[in-house]
Structure 1
Amino acid sequence: MTRTKPAILIAALAAMIGTGAIAAPKASVPESGKLQFDVIRKGRDIGDYTLKFRGKGDDLTVSVMTDVMVRVPVIGVSAYNFNQTGTETWKNGKLAAIETTTDDNGTPHSIRLGATALVPASLWSADIVKSTQILNTIDGSTDRISVRNLGTETVETGHGAVQAQHFALSGDLQRELWFADAKLVHVRFQADDGSQIDYVLR
């Protein structure tokens, strides 16, 4: 029997951690079966991002809902809204089907796709940090990305502070993601108007 040298084993483990290799998507599903985020812009709650998980093991159904509205200060009228509902079906750890309906400030989008090796840009699966191409959940196109691991940081959540790995996605999708034990705990990105948007876990 061939034994792996300790130095080689340690190096391999370090490489996995350094690239953000996490056992997902199963490991990314919370025990509660739900992830809920407040969408924050300029210190104000402007919406919700909710994921609900059903199933066991590698066979999952994921319901995704985003509801965002930005109002003009003082006037109080709706200045921008984004609403999306979607369902992801996962079989044996792979995306078997996805359906989404989106209203992007009055512009409608709808997709219905079958099995694909791409990870969807719904962000919850930690496999996204190992990807170079992901599925755009608005129009069904393929987005090319690069991912950097920015190390471990403390993130505040509705359940208190947690230690999480910080990743930066660039390219066709620009997002900062924080994962704690493969679970999504925070999202940050820059809106088209230059303002910072944060998804804060409840």
Structure 2
Amino acid sequence: MTPQKTCILTVLAALALAPAAMAAPSASVPASGRLAFDVIRKDRDIGDYVVTFRGTGDDLSVEIATDVRVKVPVIGVSAYRFVQTSTETWRGGQLASLASRTDDNGTPHDIRVGATNLVPASLWNADILQSSAVLNTIDGSMDAISVSNLGTESISTGSGPVQATHYTIRGGLQRDLWYAGATLVHVRFAAEDGSQIDYVLK
């Protein structure tokens, strides 16, 4: 059985355990129709995370692009690269399909998933905060999670500080997320080498 078929079967088997979406995804779409973040590690800009929304109401097409490159100091060659492009199609507030292609430092992943109640781990959708499991957008598996609300904080963005609610996600996905209302404004997590990665809203 191919890895792609295995991923799809894993997702289908998980549907019985998947939580229903708790809110309209459209609430997380900014008026500009676009979220763009600089990816920061050790005070260096190492890439971009961009989410582009098309459609109206709860019928959305969401295109997500991540391009991260960590270079070795002095010699300047690429030491690590993560590139992912994905498209989520939402119908009536539910994920109708997801297609994702990932190059994880030379390891390719190519998945296609049909309708599911799982919220993708693409982070833009505040429904993730009401979920006990998410769809892994790299390999199509299901990750169990728990979510905690740490309260309101001031978070820096390219347009100045904003008041946002800080949430921690733990389990199969480890992330700290800040939302202003239902809009994602900051992401933080630990890289495999222990360094801190921040997605800073432009």
Question: What are the Cα deviations for residues 37-89 of structure 1, in whole angstroms up to 9, with x where unaligned?
Answer: 00000000000000000000000000000000000011111100000000000
1:175-186 map, 5 Å: 175-186=175-186
Question: What residue in structure 2 maps to residue 12 of structure 1?
Answer: none
The Cα RMSD (Å) is 1.1
TM-score by length of 1: 0.89
Aligned residue identity for 2:140:
G
Question: What are the Cα deviations for residues 145-201 of structure 1, in whole angstroms up to 9, with x where unaligned?
Answer: 010000000011111111101000000100000000100000000000000000000
Question: What residue in structure 1 maps to residue 34 of structure 2?
Answer: 34
TM-score by length of 2: 0.89
* Pair member with larger Rg: 1
SS across alignment from 1:111: strand
Tell me the CA shift for residue 23 of structure 1: 4.0
Tell me how far apart the structure 2 counterparts of residues 142 and 201 of structure 1 sit (CA, whole Å). Answer: 27
Tell me how far apart the structure 1 counterparts of residues 187 and 25 of structure 2 sit (CA, whole Å). Answer: 17
SS across alignment from 2:194: coil
Flag structure 2 segments of 5+ consecutive residues without an equivalent: 1-20
Tell me how far apart the structure 2 counterparts of residues 24 and 99 of structure 1 sit (CA, whole Å). Answer: 21
Q: Retained in 2: the 8 A contact 1:71–1:80?
A: yes
1:14-33 map, 5 Å: 23-33=23-33
SS across alignment from 1:160: coil
SS across alignment from 2:27: helix
Tell me how far apart the structure 2 counterparts of residues 22 and 52 of structure 1 sit (CA, whole Å). Answer: 22
Q: Retained in 1: the 8 A contact 2:24–2:58?
A: no
1:1-202 map, 5 Å: 23-202=23-202
Aligned residue identity for 1:87:
T
Q: Retained in 1: the 8 A contact 2:87–2:99?
A: yes
Tell me the CA shift for residue 35 of structure 1: 0.2
Aligned residue identity for 1:139:
D
Which stretches of structure 1, 4 residues or longer, exceed 6 Å deviation after superposition?
Answer: none
Q: Retained in 2: the 8 A contact 1:59–1:90?
A: yes
Aligned-residue identity in percent:
69
Q: How many pairs were matched up?
A: 182
Tell me how far apart the structure 2 counterparts of residues 108 and 146 of structure 1 sit (CA, whole Å). Answer: 28
Tell me the CA shift for residue 22 of structure 1: 7.8
